[in-house]
Amino acid sequence: MAKESGRNNSANQLKEEIAASRERITRNLRSLRYEMDVPRKIRRSFRSQPVLWIGGAIVLGAIVAALSHGRKIAKVAVKSGKPPKNVMAVGLTLGALRIAAQVLKPVVIKFVEKKMARR
């Protein structure tokens, strides 16, 4: 009988330790979620210090603008005033294709509508 009551005591004690451990883990997870909620922290910081955030954005924009301003632009010297013949041919071809696409667009739309109506 003494052995059984000892077992009950240790089982009860073990259950209490498990419950306390679960509570600690729950508390730790809640605090971890609170600390890891970066968007909430940023919103709260922006509400409490908007001047600082806006000033920082202006400074950062000025820095980016200053850094990108000094880049060199590559310029290619043209040897003659006339464009090469193949460029003119390509431009003419693209223009003709554009006109053909505008003319054929209604025909293509009707064809697709007929095909879709069959299904």
pLDDT in tens, 68-108: 776 677 777 766 666 666 888 888 899 999 999 888 888 88
Q: What is the pLDDT of residues 2-16, one digit of tens each?
A: 455 666 788 889 999
* In a domain? residue 71: no
Is 61 domain-assigned?
no
Q: How many domains does the chain have?
A: 1
Could you write out the DSSP letters of every residue in 14-80? HHHHHHHHHHHHHHHHHHHHHHH-HHHHHHHHHHH-HHHHHHHHHHHHHHHHHHHHTPPPP----SS
Domain assignment of residue 103, yes or no: yes
The verdict on residue 31 lying in a domain is no
Is residue 27 assigned to a domain?
no
Is residue 29 in a domain?
Answer: no
The residue segments making up the domain with residue 96 are: 77-119
Buried b (16+ CB within 10 A) or exposed e, 11-21: eeeeeeeeeee
Question: Per residue in 25-44, pLDDT tens?
Answer: 999 999 999 888 888 888 89
